[in-house]
Amino acid sequence: MTEVEAKKPQESLQDRLAQVVDLLHRHRLVEDLTHRQEGQHQDRVDDLVRRQNLAELQRKLDELHPADIAHILEALPLDERLTVWQLVKAERDGDILLEVSDAVRETLIADMDDHELIAATRDMDVDELADLAPELPRDVVHELMESLDAQQRERMRSVLSYEEDQVGALMDFEMVTIREDVSLEVVLRYLRRLKELPGHTDKLFVVDYDGVLKGVLPIKRLLVNDPEKQVADVMASDPVSFHPDEDAYDAAQAFERYDLVSAPVVDKNGKLIGRLTIDEIVDLIREESESEVLNMAGLREEEDIFASVWKSVGNRWAWLALNLITAFIASRVIGLFDGSIEKLVALAALMPIVAGIGGNSGNQTITMIVRGIALDQVGTGNTSRLLRKELGVSLVNGLLWGGVIGLVAWWLYGNWSLGVVMTAAMTLNLLLAALMGVLIPMTLERLGKDPAMGASVMITAVTDSGGFFIFLGLATLFLL
Amino acid sequence: MTEVEAKKPQESLQDRLAQVVDLLHRHRLVEDLTHRQEGQHQDRVDDLVRRQNLAELQRKLDELHPADIAHILEALPLDERLTVWQLVKAERDGDILLEVSDAVRETLIADMDDHELIAATRDMDVDELADLAPELPRDVVHELMESLDAQQRERMRSVLSYEEDQVGALMDFEMVTIREDVSLEVVLRYLRRLKELPGHTDKLFVVDYDGVLKGVLPIKRLLVNDPEKQVADVMASDPVSFHPDEDAYDAAQAFERYDLVSAPVVDKNGKLIGRLTIDEIVDLIREESESEVLNMAGLREEEDIFASVWKSVGNRWAWLALNLITAFIASRVIGLFDGSIEKLVALAALMPIVAGIGGNSGNQTITMIVRGIALDQVGTGNTSRLLRKELGVSLVNGLLWGGVIGLVAWWLYGNWSLGVVMTAAMTLNLLLAALMGVLIPMTLERLGKDPAMGASVMITAVTDSGGFFIFLGLATLFLL
């Protein structure tokens, strides 16, 4: 869409949000009064004040960058969000829709009719349209497709055909292409004729007559070299490029590693079909890290913090149900030792310590291993070495902390053999945690699953049930 | 340092790593044989094979980008890592040191003498030197400082004076500055004389004679506008800029929001003192998200996956100790109800379910709130609204899952009042989890602490002790 110049922010984002909320509340207050005094002549005065507030708010919004308005919309509860949304000038709707998070975008789109949606999306680039398409009503998508020319429609279909985590879904088509057999002078004149260059153009793509990528001409080189030189003599002929079906996270790693700003996307015949830019990559990295944190707490998807109770329950119940099952299994393990607990009730008070510390230690191991897998540092070649290290760490921690808690148990319950059992159980459960902490993510990885996803529940299930079994089992054998 | 062109990778990173490991192992194997057959004439043959392997490995390494060598070094255990490190050409040492993670860099620096370190860092830019300085031996830093000219020394001191999370610590000094009263033609000629432009130059900085920033000239505009035009007519006069003492994460948000590639850093008088580039920002975002994940598991800092057992214990013990204390408190809470458990041993088996699900649910709430705070969406203005929502979600989940487990308890133990107590305790503990899940991070935030850091231990402490107390307390009141 139209490129908006980012202005130096005069106030911080929080300040601007506070101003908007303040204006909203003044508006709301007047509205409440009006409702209460309905039918009185007070009405017209209030109406005036209300309109003044809204006008001021609208002026405020008009000054803001679309990304800032998007942020404000995300930070407002649904009713206030929609009030602000209706005040935003229609021609900015599209830019803002592209900036907001998925969960909030859904609420905004639900508030627009087909007509408004088509107006907002008409001027979008194909790749932007493709981003929105899955959330738009069918009729709107259909009408938008009709308005595209054959090449654009083809490109849109192509972008939509890739998975969210493939390079093809992230690419845009704003490439500036040149030939290798012209001089830099000719390139400079050509660029001047274009009037505007796409954002993040740090290199031009050099293609032959069939559209096959021959190299890239970094703008830096274009600027510092003699204009008489030929493109072929100045270009980089073997640039980093991507295929549309490559994993987007691998592309992100390459962008980080080689400090790229943009890179060509080519098909299997080497034909240039699009480009990747750092802004999409930054968004991807941010989303990846956020979903990692959310997934660890069992939040399945981005949840609008002002989502309704029912939507939130829907987002969270599966995780709780899963944990309920594992907790129930642990409970049945305890049930096996009814008799032991009845005879020595101290066991009931001590057993959660063994299970809990095992869970913590196991999660530390898993976090290290999952991260190592993500960074390609952990492979099958070094499993045994990692396992030895983690078992060593657990042995030290088990003897150390198990020893401490064993002494405390002896002192509290005046039973030295209970203390020894406690120390032994802690150490064994930490060793179990280390073993499973290495094996679970590596097995998930080998099965082609995401090791970050299920690993944490599994380790907790193992260390809970295992911890109870080890501790109560040892106690039954040696104390009763 | 010298800029290295990123070549299109012919093989994936994993393949390259595998090749290096393979060559290393062949080298190792021969070495082992040599040791065993010492003194025999076999020696010379083995020595030959060994040298051939090393030569091949060295050839392989020479072809790789420094970032790729850095990755390989990170993925190798210490002894193999140092073998590879010694094979790397000395002139590439500096580039590689800048790319590796802090934990691995430490091991590499420990393997180098002062002489090697000075050679490796001599050609670095000031900002790169400042990155390494804290980890270099004092003598080396002293000698490096001596070799700098007055301006560079001043810049280095300035970068070192900022905290790691301030803009000043991330900035570099590779700015191309121009005056506003010249034509674009003059600018183009000036650039051509420079021979090379710094990486990530997407804009030139327009300054007056006192060095005060007047605006920026995006390269895009330089290329598409008539060369006869003056800089002042084409430049953006109110660009996004940063102060060196600003929070680096705020700068990162601005880069994301406004899709920046580079931005000027100015002092409080508006004088240009440096610039920020997207590559540093991407590294910052990545590090931020990694330390978030590591911190959640109580891993205090980046831990080299091949670190020694003792180093790992040092990194992890504090978290385990902290959790041991909270687990011990929960254990004492159970101890209060000794008598009840003795009378009804089913309580011991059921109580971990109440505590566990409370912890899961509380962590879901905390994750949402911490994320909202990080994105500036949660403020004091909407606490009560968020609290109502979270309490609502907990009430629904409590009645639902508490009801399920209550029915199961009734069926298992044939005691319907035990089932009712179980349901009530689950619901109350989930409500407690929601309350504390909102209040803990918001209080930490108001106290100026990092809400992500301690929130998770605290919520688990509350839901464990609280869960045991609620369940055993209700049981004591109504069942015994």
| Nearest-CA distance B142 → chain A (Å) | 31
Instruction: For domain A177-296, give the fold.
Output: CBS-domain (3.10.580)
Within 8 A of A213 by CB-CB distance, chain B residues are none
Alpha carbon A374 to chain centroid, angstroms: 15
For the record, the structure tokens of B291 come out as 């330390």
DSSP states along B114-152: HHHHHHHHTT--HHHHHHHGGGS-HHHHHHHHHHS-HHH
Is there a contact between A309 and B9 if contact means CB atoms under 8 Å apart? no
Q: How far apart are CA A352 and CA A464, in angstroms?
A: 8
For the record, the structure tokens of A294 come out as 């959310």
Residue A35 confidence (pLDDT): 52
Within 8 A of A178 by CB-CB distance, chain B residues are none
| Nearest-CA distance B165 → chain A (Å) | 18
Instruction: For domain B13-163, give the fold.
Output: MgtE N-terminal fold (1.25.60)
Within 8 A of B297 by CB-CB distance, chain A residues are 360, 363-364, 366-367
| Res. A298 pLDDT band, cuts 50 70 90 | confident
- pLDDT tens for A215-274 read 999 999 999 999 999 999 999 988 999 999 999 988 998 999 899 999 999 999 999 999
- pLDDT tens for A263-295 read 999 999 999 999 999 999 998 988 888 888 888
Neighbours of B224 (CB within 10 A): 17
Q: Which of A115-119, A150-154, B376-380 has the lowest mean pLDDT?
A: B376-380
Instruction: For domain A309-478, give the fold.
Output: Tetracycline Repressor; domain 2 (1.10.357)
Amino acid (1-letter code) at residue A357: I
Residue B156 confidence (pLDDT): 87
Within 8 A of B68 by CB-CB distance, chain A residues are 257
Residue B33 confidence (pLDDT): 52
| Res. A9 pLDDT band, cuts 50 70 90 | low
Residue A2 confidence (pLDDT): 43
Counted across chains A and B, CB pairs separated by less than 8 A come out at 368
Within 8 A of A18 by CB-CB distance, chain B residues are 379
Does the beta carbon of B194 lie under 8 angstroms from any beta carbon of chain A? yes
Alpha helix (H) ranges present in A195-274?
A: 219-224, 231-234, 248-258
Evaluate if residue A43 carries a pLDDT over 70.
no
Q: Which residues pair with B272 in a beta bridge?
A: B266
Q: Which of A143-147, A274-278, A422-426, B224-228 has the lowest mean pLDDT?
A: A143-147
Give yes or no for a contact between B267 and B154, defined as CB atoms under 8 angstroms apart. Answer: no
Residue B195 confidence (pLDDT): 83
Evaluate if residue A212 carries a pLDDT over 90.
yes
Evaluate if residue A370 carries a pLDDT over 70.
yes
Within 8 A of A385 by CB-CB distance, chain B residues are 77, 306
Q: How far apart are CA A251 and CA A216, in angstroms?
A: 18
Give yes or no for a contact between A371 and B287, defined as CB atoms under 8 angstroms apart. Answer: no
Q: In a 3-state reduction of DSSP, which class is residue A273? A: strand
Residue B7 confidence (pLDDT): 52
Residue A147 confidence (pLDDT): 86
| Nearest-CA distance B427 → chain A (Å) | 13
Neighbours of B237 (CB within 10 A): 13
The second-level CATH assignment, the architecture, of B309-479 is Orthogonal Bundle (1.10)
Evaluate if residue A3 carries a pLDDT over 80.
no
CA angle B225, B228, B233 (to 5 degrees): 65
| Res. A31 pLDDT band, cuts 50 70 90 | low
Distances (CA, A) of B388 to A304, B154, B362: 15, 54, 15
| Nearest-CA distance A155 → chain B (Å) | 24
- pLDDT tens for A339-356 read 999 999 999 999 999 999
Is there a contact between B293 and A298 if contact means CB atoms under 8 Å apart? no
Select the more confidently predicted residue: A325 or B47. Answer: A325
Region of B197 (left: φ > 0; alpha: ψ -120 to 50; beta: rest) is beta
The residues of chain B scoring below 50 in pLDDT are 1-4, 10
Mutate to test the interface with A, among B22, B197, B364 (most CBs of A within 10 A): B364
Give yes or no for a contact between A281 and A251, defined as CB atoms under 8 angstroms apart. Answer: yes
Give B 198-227 residues with CB within 8 A of chain A: 199-202, 219-220, 223-226
Percent of chain A with pLDDT over 70: 92
Domain-by-domain residue ranges, chain A?
A: 13-163, 177-296, 309-478
Residue A1 confidence (pLDDT): 46
Evaluate if residue A169 carries a pLDDT over 70.
yes
Is there a contact between B397 and A317 if contact means CB atoms under 8 Å apart? yes
User: Strands B213-218 and B203-207, how do they pair?
Assistant: antiparallel
Is there a contact between B327 and A71 if contact means CB atoms under 8 Å apart? no
Give yes or no for a contact between B290 and B223, defined as CB atoms under 8 angstroms apart. Answer: no
Q: Residue B266: in which H helix or E strand, if any?
A: strand B262-266
User: Strands A177-178 and A203-207, how do they pair?
Assistant: parallel
| Nearest-CA distance A140 → chain B (Å) | 28
Within 8 A of B14 by CB-CB distance, chain A residues are 376, 379
B46-70: b or e for each residue (b if 16 or more CB lie within 10 Å)? beeebeebbeebeebbeebbbbbbb
Residue A71 confidence (pLDDT): 87
Alpha carbon A407 to chain centroid, angstroms: 45
- pLDDT tens for B302-351 read 677 788 888 888 888 888 999 999 999 999 999 999 999 999 999 999 99
User: Residue B175: CB partners within 8 Å, gap ≥ 6?
Assistant: B198, B205, B264, B272, B274, B275
Evaluate if residue A210 carries a pLDDT over 80.
yes
Does the beta carbon of B323 lie under 8 angstroms from any beta carbon of chain A? yes
